[in-house]
Amino acid sequence: MCPKTDVKLLEIPQTKSINEQSTAQDQKNIVTTDITNENDSSYGLQNPNLPTEPISKAPSTSHNQEILWHLEFDGSVNKLGAGAGVWIHSMQNDHAEGHAYRINFRCTNNMAEYEALLLGLKLIKNLGATKISILGDSNLIIQHIKGNFVTNDLRLRAYRGAAIEILNTFLDHQLTKISRKHNLHAHSLTTFASTCKLSFEPNHQFTAEIKHKPVVPDNVKNWQVFQNDTQINNFLTLKEEF
């Protein structure tokens, strides 16, 4: 049985990004290093005042039976626009859903990555997840959240504070850096959103659906016997037209 997949393209207005307030911990750990390019050597700067260990909480033996959810995120900015992609799935309950967000305000690539992460965390929280595994291909964002990289950029510090605030509401969470090829779902979603050539207006919403069969079946490779689940049930129970 294929997991349910719902891909949506939404505009993110500038007034609905994140809380501008930084955490007290961030305010005490300012260094004169700007995070502007992930290939910059300044990314390797270590902060001696922050823990080098992951901020993940140790698994509790009393919660071992909780369903483990996976959150893959990606954000990007290019000459056509900016986008964020989120892929949420759990093999234990056969659930999967993807969301693509068009970011319709000026931002950097790092901000787009954080937007994707925060949007994903809110989505997975609303699904009732308590144990989550977060996967992303941005080493900068992963290490920044863990406290291994620091910056004096107020926006990124605020994003980190907002992310940690949500992370601390889960019973257990872990952050892992993965390669781009292993982050294909989220990357495809953010590419779709950032390169989509639609005229965006405030409060506009667009939905992109995945179709597995043609609207008109050819009855060669794509057969259509029933229109919906109701007809299937009627057939099995010999009701109405059957």
pLDDT tens-digit series, residues 86-133: 999 998 888 999 999 999 899 999 999 999 999 999 999 999 999 999
Tokens for 190, please give them: 């953010």
∠ CA(43), CA(20), CA(189), 5° rounding? 65
CA distance 213 to 237: 26
Give the CA radius of gyration of the chain: 21
Q: What's the pTM? A: 0.68
DSSP 17: S
- SS3 (DSSP) at 8: strand
pLDDT digit string, tens, across residues 160-182: 999 999 999 999 999 999 999 99
Spatial distance between the Cα atoms of 71 and 86, rounded to a whole number of angstroms: 7
Residue intervals of the chain classified under CATH 3.30.420.10 are 7-207
pLDDT surpasses 80 at 54: no
Using DSSP bridges, classify how beta strands 68-78 and 81-90 pair: parallel, antiparallel or unpaired: antiparallel
What distances in angstroms separate CA 137 from CA 133, 194, 202, one per listed residue?
14, 17, 30
* 27-50 residue pLDDT tens: 333 333 334 445 443 344 444 444
Q: Which option is the CATH number for 7-207: 3.10.620.30, 3.40.50.300, 3.30.420.10, 3.40.50.970?
A: 3.30.420.10
Q: What is the pLDDT of residue 221?
A: 65
Q: Which residues of 126-146 are buried (b: 16+ CB within 10 A; e: fewer)?
A: eeebbbbbbbbbbebbbbbbb
